[in-house]
């Protein structure tokens, strides 16, 4: 009998989408013959996930779990919005979020390879394959992130039942209802206006240098007779305008009564009112299906409309 190697099991898993133990069993029962092992899995109903593996999973849901000073956010995709609203699917994604809260994995591949906390005999990938077989659609655990803040708290916001999810890391020496409300408003801001960075300090200097180079060339084309000082002023103004759009704390606060107050100034005002030291250290924003081929639905616009 041919020896069954880990590489063979991995290859069969990739071909069929079946669980690791099922693949090992199939290879053992077919003397290591890959083609016969595939047939074995299909005949025994263990390769149901394989036929669905190629379908686009761009719907789904974002879930968040918060426990004490830490939180986790996950995006799990399905093929249809109908399944995304299914109670069993939602219960499964809740478990994936809890798994993410306790994971030590650094990336999605390591996450999928670790033991499933509900059943140590399975991996996360094995349980995913089982859910595909039961639910009948291709599913994908697309991404996860963890956040911890011991000197404050992690705020969270979920829009429209999981179309957008946001975590915000709030360092503060005072925690009360007003500060928690401020944090929720900042999370909603991130959901609505899709910032790329928390503050200017996060922006890569190479990015700013490249933008400055491009905008300088554009300004010189617009005003070929302008001196260097005028060009520099034009460019600086345009760079600042761009940073105000992509940096959360520089954005105009959507709920600002004057339409001018920045998010940073809003946070500073709440801190002053409560005699607190508050820093918005980071945020994570997941939007279901973001960047994937899917129907064109602007959920961010919906959040912005709600805020106004």
Instruction: List Cβ neighbours of 239 (8 Å cut-off, separation of 6 or more).
Output: 208, 211, 212, 215
Residue 29 scores a pLDDT above 70: yes
pLDDT for the residue numbered 15 = 75
pLDDT for the residue numbered 2 = 67
DSSP designation for 2 = P
Instruction: Give the model's confidence band at 302: pLDDT under 50 very low, under 70 low, under 90 confident, else very high.
Output: low
Residue 217 scores a pLDDT above 80: yes
Q: What is the mean pLDDT of the chain?
A: 89
Report, as an integer, the average pLDDT of 48-76: 83
Report, as an integer, the average pLDDT of 47-56: 57
Instruction: Give the model's confidence band at 297: pLDDT under 50 very low, under 70 low, under 90 confident, else very high.
Output: low
The Cα 280–Cα 265 span in angstroms is 12
Instruction: Give the model's confidence band at 299: pLDDT under 50 very low, under 70 low, under 90 confident, else very high.
Output: low
Instruction: Give the model's confidence band at 307: pLDDT under 50 very low, under 70 low, under 90 confident, else very high.
Output: low
pLDDT for the residue numbered 293 = 66
DSSP designation for 15 = H
Count CB atoms within 10 A of the CB of residue 145.
17
Residue matched to tokens 């000073």: 69
C-alpha distance from residue 276 to each of 116, 187, 189, 236, 240 (Å): 41, 19, 21, 33, 29
Instruction: Give the model's confidence band at 280: pLDDT under 50 very low, under 70 low, under 90 confident, else very high.
Output: very high
Count CB atoms within 10 A of the CB of residue 214.
12
pLDDT for the residue numbered 211 = 86
Task: Between 219 and 144, name the one with better pLDDT.
Answer: 144
* pLDDT one-digit tens code per residue, 234-273: 999 998 998 999 999 999 999 998 889 999 999 999 999 9
* pLDDT one-digit tens code per residue, 118-135: 999 999 999 999 999 888
Instruction: Give the model's confidence band at 41: pLDDT under 50 very low, under 70 low, under 90 confident, else very high.
Output: confident
Task: Between 80 and 178, name the one with better pLDDT.
Answer: 178
End-to-end CA distance of the chain: 70
* pLDDT one-digit tens code per residue, 74-102: 999 998 889 989 999 999 999 999 999 99
Strand partners, 146: 72
Residue 14 scores a pLDDT above 90: no
Residue 65 near residue 94 (C-beta atoms within 8 A): yes
Residue 306 scores a pLDDT above 90: no
What's the alpha-carbon Rg for the chain, to the nearest Å?
Answer: 24
Instruction: List Cβ neighbours of 253 (8 Å cut-off, separation of 6 or more).
Output: 185, 189, 261, 262, 263, 265, 266
C-alpha 286: how far from chain center: 3
* pLDDT one-digit tens code per residue, 191-209: 999 999 999 999 988 988 9
The Cα 215–Cα 46 span in angstroms is 57
C-alpha distance from residue 293 to each of 11, 161, 279 (Å): 27, 21, 37
pLDDT for the residue numbered 39 = 79
Residue 68 scores a pLDDT above 70: yes
Model confidence, pTM: 0.76
Phi, psi of 259 (to 5 degrees): 70, 10
- The tokens for 55 are 């379908």
Residue 171 scores a pLDDT above 80: yes
pLDDT for the residue numbered 6 = 85
pLDDT for the residue numbered 56 = 65
pLDDT for the residue numbered 112 = 96
Residue 181 near residue 172 (C-beta atoms within 8 A): no
Residue 24 near residue 127 (C-beta atoms within 8 A): no
Residue 51 scores a pLDDT above 60: no
């Amino acid at each position: 009998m041919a020896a069954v190697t880990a590489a063979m099991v991995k290859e069969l898993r990739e071909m069929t989408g079946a669980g690791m133990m099922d693949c090992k069993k199939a290879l053992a029962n077919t003397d290591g013959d890959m083609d016969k092992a595939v047939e074995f899995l299909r005949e025994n109903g263990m390769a149901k996930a394989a036929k669905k593996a190629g379908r686009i999973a761009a719907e789904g849901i974002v879930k968040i779990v918060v426990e004490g000073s830490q939180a986790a956010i996950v995006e799990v995709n399905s093929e249809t919005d109908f399944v995304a609203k299914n109670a069993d699917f939602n219960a499964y994604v809740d478990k994936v979020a809890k798994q993410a809260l306790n994971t030590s994995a650094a990336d999605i591949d390591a996450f999928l390879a670790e033991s499933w906390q509900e059943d140590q005999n399975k991996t996360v990938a094995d349980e995913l394959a089982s859910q595909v077989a039961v639910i009948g659609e291709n599913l994908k655990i697309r991404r996860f992130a963890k956040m911890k803040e011991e000197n404050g708290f992690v705020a969270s916001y979920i829009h429209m039942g999981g179309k957008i999810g946001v975590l915000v890391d709030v360092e503060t020496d005072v925690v009360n209802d007003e500060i928690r409300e401020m944090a929720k408003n900042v999370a909603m801001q991130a959901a609505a206006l899709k910032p790329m960075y928390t503050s200017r300090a996060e922006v890569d200097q190479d990015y700013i240098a490249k933008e400055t180079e491009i905008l300088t060339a554009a300004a010189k084309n617009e005003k070929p007779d302008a001196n260097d000082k005028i060009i520099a002023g034009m460019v600086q103004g345009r760079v600042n305008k761009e940073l105000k759009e992509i940096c959360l704390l520089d954005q105009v606060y959507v709920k600002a009564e004057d339409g001018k107050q920045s998010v940073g100034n809003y946070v500073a005002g709440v801190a002053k009112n409560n005699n607190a030291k508050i820093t918005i250290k980071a945020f994570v924003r997941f939007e279901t299906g973001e960047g994937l081929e899917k129907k064109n639905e602007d959920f961010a616009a919906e959040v912005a409309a709600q805020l106004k």
